[in-house]
Every structure is written in structure tokens, then in C-alpha cells.
């Protein structure tokens, strides 16, 4: 049986217990508050991150890992006897993380076979792809098969979210075409989706409840074809009632996780969203 190691980055937002259960290796990005830098997950938990956001007006920023961080993980997999590595990372349109992974793959050429897959998405969209690949690897799939599962998943994954503010995205320069949502009334709740690897506008609603109704409507529209679904939230008190609404529409379990520092730095507190994979 082949042994394929799955590697991803810390923007996947998968809960720690699932990461451990599926044996996934996570290469952390870095989070900066002013001059102070933290290694995501290792030096700063999600709860600590949101607490810091509440206590300071300074917007955090993120930095991609150095290639050496991936090299270390790839070599560890080789030493542990893995037949290969599939590294699935956040959209290359949003971060230089994929370049670090690709450079690292070249550095370990001859030591272990590494496939780098651009998820074309982020947060639990990436998490969904990583989980499917990890489950395939656990079932004994080959390097090519696991890589194909990841690439196929990337083409069938959607991420939709309602933000409480566009300020973080604007200041972080990740706004893309969502720039068109700026300049609206402060009460407007912007809707975004990750499409073709980029954050795009999906409209706006006047209240949070209407924004959440929009997301419920997206799930309703795709419900019959949804294979797996995740709810992501940035320290939201209203997540439980939202999850109940989503659960009533789909035939599969809804996994819930907090948005971590990497995505949270750009999305901002109060963000709530859905990530799902559908057939066809």
C-alpha cells in the first residue's frame, strides 16, 4: 500500500482534531501586528488572534512561509517512509505560498516526489479539498490518484461569505473586483465569493440577517448536489442558528470551524460563510 503524505498551509482552517486524525502536515503562515510577528497556530491560536483584534485598531497582515518551511516538512515525510507528498495550498492568486511550496519541491527533487496543487480557494474551501485528499491517501490511493482528487476537488469547491466590513480586505490589498462594494453605506453587509482563485463581489445586503439569508439561498440552490459542506465563522455569536438552517437543507453533516488568523486578517471579525463541494 502506498503512503502519501498530505501537506497544506494554515489558511485551511481545519480543526486541530481533524488534522491529527487524518495525519495532515500544516505549514504555517506568519501573522503580523505592527512590528510583532507570530507563527500561525504555533505562536498564536485563533482565539488569541480574535482577542488581539478586539483590543487593537491596528489591522493585522500576513506573510507567506519561506520555502525552507516546506522543505522541512517534505524531508520529514521522506524520512518517515512516505512514497510521495501532495501539497495543497491556498490560491496562488491570493498568496505567494504556492511559490514557496514549488521552490521547496524542486529542492527535494530526488529525495521524494512532491506534487503541488493550487486549490484556487482558501479557508474551509481549501480544507474540504485537503480532507478529501487525506481520506484518499488513507485509503491507499497512489500519488497520482491523490493529486487528481485534489485537482478535481478544486474545480468543484465553492466559498461564499458575508462580511461585517470591507475595511480589512481593502487595507490588505486582497479586494480585487470587490472594490466596487466600497463607498456604500456603513450598514451595508458585503457578500463575497472566491471564484477562480480570486475574491469577487457577490452583492450586498442592508442587514446581517438578509446577508445570512442570501447564503442560505446559495445552499438551497445547490443542496441536491452537495457532497460535503462547511460553515466558517470569525468569532460569530449567531453561528449556531445559521448552522441549523444549513443542516436542514443538506443530506450530509455540516462541519463548523472558526476562521483562523490568515483569512481573518483579511476578512475581519464577524465574517460568516459556507464552503462546499458539489457533484458535477
Query: Mind listing the pLDDT tens digit for each residue in 34-80?
Result: 999 999 999 999 999 999 988 887 889 999 999 999 999 999 999 99
CA quadruple 53, 56, 59, 61: dihedral sign: negative
CA 81 to chain centre: 28
Contact 142, 242 (CB under 8 A): no
Instruction: Look at residue 280 in the predicted model and tell me its pLDDT.
Output: 66
Burial of 171 (0-12, 13-18, 19+ CB in 10 A): middle
* Dist CA 58 CA 185 (whole Å): 22
Measure the CA–CA gap between 138 and 1, rounded to whole angstroms.
10
- Give the three cell numbers for residue 103: 521552490
Residues 6+ apart with CB under 8 A from 51: none
Write the DSSP string, the chain: ---EEEEEEGGG---HHHHHHTT-EEE--EEEETTEEEEBTTTB-HHHHHHHHHH-SSPPEEEPPPHHHHHHHHHHHHHTT-SEEEEEES-TTT-THHHHHHHHHHHTTTTS-EEEEE-S--HHHHHHHHHHHHHHHHTT--HHHHHHHHHHHHHTEEEEEE-S-SHHHHHHT--GGGGGGTTS-TT-EEEEEEETTEEEEEEEESSHHHHHHHHHHHHHHHGGGEEEEEEEESS-TTHHHHHHHHHTT-SSPEEEEE--HHHHHHH-TT-EEEEEEE--
Q: Of 244, 196, 252, 192, nearest to 222 (Cα)?
A: 252
As a whole number, mean pLDDT of residues 238-251 equals 97
pLDDT 10s digits, 142-173: 999 999 999 999 999 999 999 987 665 555 55
Mean residue pLDDT across the chain: 92
Tell me the pTM.
0.92
Alpha carbon separation from 251 to 199, 209, 213, 233 (Å, rounded): 28, 24, 19, 21
Compute, in degrees rounded to 10, the torsion defined by CA atoms 280, 22, 68, 28.
80
**Res 213: pLDDT:** 97
What whole-number distance in Å separates Cα of residue 93 and Cα of residue 5? 25
Mind listing the domains of the chain with CATH numbers? 4-29+64-155 (3.40.50.10440), 157-278 (3.30.1180.10)
Backbone angles phi, psi at 200, to 5 degrees: -120, 150
In the prediction, which pLDDT does 164 show? 85
Amino acid at each position: 500500500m502506498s503512503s502519501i503524505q498530505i501537506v497544506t498551509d494554515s489558511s485551511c482552517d481545519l480543526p486541530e482534531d481533524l488534522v491529527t486524525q487524518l495525519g495532515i502536515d500544516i505549514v504555517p503562515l506568519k501573522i503580523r501586528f505592527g512590528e510583532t510577528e507570530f507563527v500561525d497556530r504555533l505562536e498564536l491560536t485563533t482565539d488569541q488572534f480574535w482577542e488581539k483584534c478586539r483590543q487593537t485598531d491596528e489591522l493585522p497582515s500576513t506573510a507567506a512561509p519561506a520555502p525552507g518551511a516546506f522543505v522541512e516538512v517534505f524531508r520529514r515525510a521522506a524520512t518517515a517512509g512516505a512514497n510521495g507528498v501532495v501539497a495543497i495550498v491556498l490560491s496562488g492568486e491570493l498568496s505567494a505560498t504556492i511559490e514557496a511550496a514549488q521552490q521547496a519541491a524542486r529542492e527535494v527533487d530526488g529525495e521524494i516526489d512532491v506534487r503541488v496543487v493550487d486549490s484556487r480557494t482558501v479557508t474551509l474551501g481549501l480544507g474540504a479539498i485537503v480532507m478529501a485528499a487525506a481520506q484518499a491517501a488513507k485509503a491507499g490511493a497512489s500519488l497520482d490518484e491523490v493529486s487528481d482528487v485534489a485537482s478535481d476537488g478544486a474545480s468543484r469547491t465553492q466559498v461564499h461569505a458575508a462580511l461585517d466590513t470591507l475595511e480589512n480586505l481593502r487595507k490588505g490589498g486582497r479586494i480585487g473586483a470587490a472594490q466596487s462594494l466600497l463607498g456604500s453605506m456603513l450598514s451595508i453587509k458585503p457578500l463575497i465569493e472566491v471564484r477562480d482563485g480570486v475574491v469577487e463581489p457577490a452583492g450586498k445586503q442592508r442587514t446581517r440577517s438578509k446577508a445570512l439569508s442570501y447564503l442560505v439561498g446559495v445552499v438551497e440552490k445547490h443542496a441536491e448536489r452537495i457532497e460535503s459542506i462547511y460553515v466558517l465563522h470569525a468569532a460569530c455569536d449567531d453561528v449556531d442558528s445559521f448552522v441549523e438552517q444549513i443542516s436542514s437543507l443538506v443530506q450530509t453533516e455540516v462541519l463548523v470551524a472558526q476562521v483562523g488568523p490568515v483569512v481573518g486578517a483579511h476578512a475581519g471579525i464577524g465574517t460568516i460563510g459556507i464552503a462546499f463541494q458539489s457533484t458535477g
